Structure 1
Amino acid sequence: MKDLRHHYEAPLRTTPFHDRIAAANVLNQWGPWAGYTTALVLEDAEMEYSAIRNTASLYDLCPMIKYRIAGRDAVDYLNRLTLRDVARVAVGAVQYTAWCDDRGKLLDDGTLFRLGEAEFLLCCQERHLPWLLDSAIGFEVSVHDVTAEIAALSLQGPCTASVLDAAGFDVSALKPYRFASFPFDGGDLIISRTGFTGDLGYELWIEPALALPLWDRLMAAGAYCGIRPVGSHALDIARIEAGFLAAHADFVPADQALREDRVRSPYELALDWMIDFGKGHFNGRRALLAERDGQTSEWAFVALDIEGNVAADHAILYDGRNREVGQITSAAWSPSAKRSIALAQVRRPHHAGAKGGLRAEIYALRELHYVKLMMTARMTERPFFAPPRRRTTPPGRF
């Protein structure tokens, strides 16, 4: 039945999986994501995290913004927009990429699916349609927001390949950052070996009318291992362990920043590895060349091990002389790595090692009172957790 309410009576839309998630959300904890209602915690965040790392988990990806980009000039258009060389992406492959404004400051990152020779699906966190349409002037290409036309699920965890096999989908030959199409209830289901957890996992893409039958089949197929739906809080711990950036957590999109000093370049967010200067001109190329050649980057994005077992959310970082040199953007106690971990922005050259080391100023709540903790912060490598199963093909059976 069509919802006839005014937009102000229902400011957040519900996803095609909402009925199943609402039934499982016993804590009734919801939050907004891109104009949709999304579950934060359904029953127990720790058990939901455990499902991601030990069995299988389902997370509703429908609010993720999706753009279908097609036309004769699709490759040239996307090469003009993004940092990496789109021409190198094979049909059936996925590319993790990012894009900047003309100043070389990061707008967003996301995944690019090559559906055909001249057809792509761009998935990202933020909405960019006006900018994408303006950028399409002069190219023979069409850009459409298809967010509401595609229902998406993230199926993550060591048992996921076995769950898909039990559900009738053989993904044994599917390599990381590849996707394949499978028939399902008279429609087509696309399964990609992608995810936001740094673990073995898949993302499933289907028409909204088939969303609930797909959910039910996966839950039945995963009953043997205790598959469970998860919320954003559990997923966030997993993505921090994987060392992945998140918009509005680790960086502010350049077109939304109110303060000029809050924007960051790919060099300042450790994304410079994806810049392909040899492919021709792209947004921000001149500014990024000048930054590279002049060594003008002011910030560095680093991974930290934090002393103790208290998550260092939003802690300020100091050098050995009590001078502020950065801030932690994402932090968590890692159940898998058994340590307090963090992602942080640090002023250069302190990223190379501050004299006397770095210290994090953490405020821990102890029975209604905050206690100030000055904990040692040590530079380390990303990711914090990287099990071999995430890349093994064919995937292990659990």
Structure 2
Amino acid sequence: MSEVSVQQANDRETMLIHTPFHSRSSALNKLNSWENWKGFMVAHEYDDYELEYFAIRSQTGVMDLTPMTKYRITGPDAEAYLNRLVTRDVTKIKVGRVGYTVWCNSDGQVMDDGTIFHLAEDEYRLCSYTHCIDWLMWSAEGFDVEIVDETKQVAALAVQGPTSCSCLMAMGLEGIENLKPFGLTTFPFEGGELMVSRTGFTGDLGYELWVEPALAEALWDQLFAAGKQYLIRPFGLYALDMARKEAGFIQAAVDFVPAEDQVRVGRTRSPFEIGLGWLVDFNKPFFNGRKALLKEKENGSRYRFVMLDIEGNKPANNSFILNKKGKVIGTVTSAGWCPSAKANVAFGQVDAKYGEIGEELITEIYYERELHWTKVLAKSVVVKGPMYDPPRRRATPPAPF
């Protein structure tokens, strides 16, 4: 069997969708390490996840973002509909801006978090982790809006790191250095349009590039040609996970259970319980979950989200969190060593009466080396996020490299 035939056979066996960048990303994936992201085949690791992580922090890292679920919402009631759907005030997200938000069910439990792109008058794009078209359509009853799942119709790249702006400037995107955080703009590209937003999931200077699939390979080629002098390199989901923990970003289905996915009652969380209470705006009109969230604000929450600085360097994955008397008060949802911050960080859910900034807790860690398991009761301090927050993340224009 020829090499091409073998590849085609392997592709059929995966039953995963190739993104428009697959011809380029597969050529660079030396480990042939892939992951299923909502039905798409994306790189988990290209050659060395640690080097990929450091590309994000000291060079430019590029990740295929195409599988991110994307919905186009248009119509005269688009703003009113979104304002009814999500917890923050959508009227404050002006044209050419992006807003981070969450949306809840009627019990005030988080369905998902995501970003709202205000593309034009009465035109938005909602990006999320979960596939939520049914919920969006049910919530649209009575509103004059059209909702289209455009996930497969939009190819996207995350371009992150201190030299990311320099790469885009070298690519010929004039004025990109003036784009402010959470801003978006467009450029003509190969007979079509390239949209660029100053957004990302790494906590560093970074951008996301959005283009029609037919132009994806040209975008990849031009970006990597322009970024060669800046040591541009692709990164996978493993490196992204390291960066987002360091930046204090939570992830759906990891740090909280989306309300539609829960199997057992009581496993979901409200925005207040995952550290996103600042996204709940009670000054705007009625929105999904408002009554339940008002009641929770008055009576108190069940849980509190904490970020822990843990003694030592053993990651606290899936660990119990204890108070000083040794009683279990919560669990770790995400954990890892943060190379740039030089800290052993963990996100956790604890009983609401614990978790004040500066409070000392204990994390029960188990780790295995050479078939031998060791238990560590590590001193842990509740810290005010994020562990890594460089000034260049907000600088406009960013410093040249």
Q: Same fold (TM over 0.5)?
A: yes
Could you tell me whether the CA contact under 8 Å between 2:116 and 2:124 is conserved in 1? yes
SS in 2 for 1:351: coil
**Cα deviations by residue, 1:232-286 (Å, 9 ceiling, x for unpaired):** 0001010011101101110000110111121000110111111111111000000
Does 2:265 correspond to 1:260?
A: yes
Structure 1 stretch displaced more, 359-368 or 70-79: 359-368
Does 2:381 correspond to 1:375?
A: no
SS in 2 for 1:153: strand
Which of 365, 387, 390 lines up with 2:390 in the alignment?
387
Equivalent in the alignment of 1:133: 137
Does 2:336 correspond to 1:332?
A: yes
**Cα deviations by residue, 1:297-322 (Å, 9 ceiling, x for unpaired):** 11000111000011111111111111
Equivalent in the alignment of 1:107: 111
Separation (CA, whole Å) in 1 of partners of 2:213 and 2:354: 49
Which of 28, 40, 48 lines up with 1:24 in the alignment?
28
Separation (CA, whole Å) in 2 of partners of 1:354 and 1:388: 24
Could you tell me whether the CA contact under 8 Å between 2:358 and 2:381 is conserved in 1? no
Could you tell me whether the CA contact under 8 Å between 1:319 and 1:354 is conserved in 2? no
Does 2:198 correspond to 1:206?
A: no
- For residue 352 of structure 1, report the CA deviation from its aligned partner: 2.7
Separation (CA, whole Å) in 1 of partners of 2:372 and 2:223: 45
Which of 195, 203, 206 lines up with 2:200 in the alignment?
195
Could you tell me whether the CA contact under 8 Å between 2:72 and 2:149 is conserved in 1? yes
Alignment of 1:105-184 (within 5 A): 105-170=109-174, 171-184=176-189
- For residue 9 of structure 1, report the CA deviation from its aligned partner: 5.4
Could you tell me whether the CA contact under 8 Å between 1:58 and 1:230 is conserved in 2? yes
**Cα deviations by residue, 1:90-146 (Å, 9 ceiling, x for unpaired):** 100000011000000001000100011100000010000011111111100000000
Equivalent in the alignment of 1:245: 250
Could you tell me whether the CA contact under 8 Å between 1:201 and 1:390 is conserved in 2? yes
Could you tell me whether the CA contact under 8 Å between 1:325 and 1:346 is conserved in 2? yes
**Cα deviations by residue, 1:329-357 (Å, 9 ceiling, x for unpaired):** 111101101110111111120113798x3
RMSD: 1.5
- For residue 152 of structure 1, report the CA deviation from its aligned partner: 0.4
- For residue 173 of structure 1, report the CA deviation from its aligned partner: 1.0
C-alpha change, 1:181 and 1:256, in structure 2 (3 Å) is same
Percent identity of paired positions between Structure 1 and Structure 2? 49
Separation (CA, whole Å) in 2 of partners of 1:83 and 1:74: 15
Separation (CA, whole Å) in 2 of partners of 1:40 and 1:11: 17
Does 2:96 correspond to 1:74?
A: no
Where does the alignment leave 5 or more consecutive residues of structure 2 unmatched? 1-7
Equivalent in the alignment of 1:350: 354
SS in 1 for 2:355: helix
Could you tell me whether the CA contact under 8 Å between 1:302 and 1:343 is conserved in 2? yes
Where does the alignment leave 5 or more consecutive residues of structure 1 unmatched? none
TM-score for the superposition, normalised by structure 2: 0.95
Separation (CA, whole Å) in 1 of partners of 2:258 and 2:15: 23
Could you tell me whether the CA contact under 8 Å between 1:98 and 1:108 is conserved in 2? yes
Which of 51, 56, 81 lines up with 2:55 in the alignment?
51
Equivalent in the alignment of 2:3: none
SS in 2 for 1:352: coil
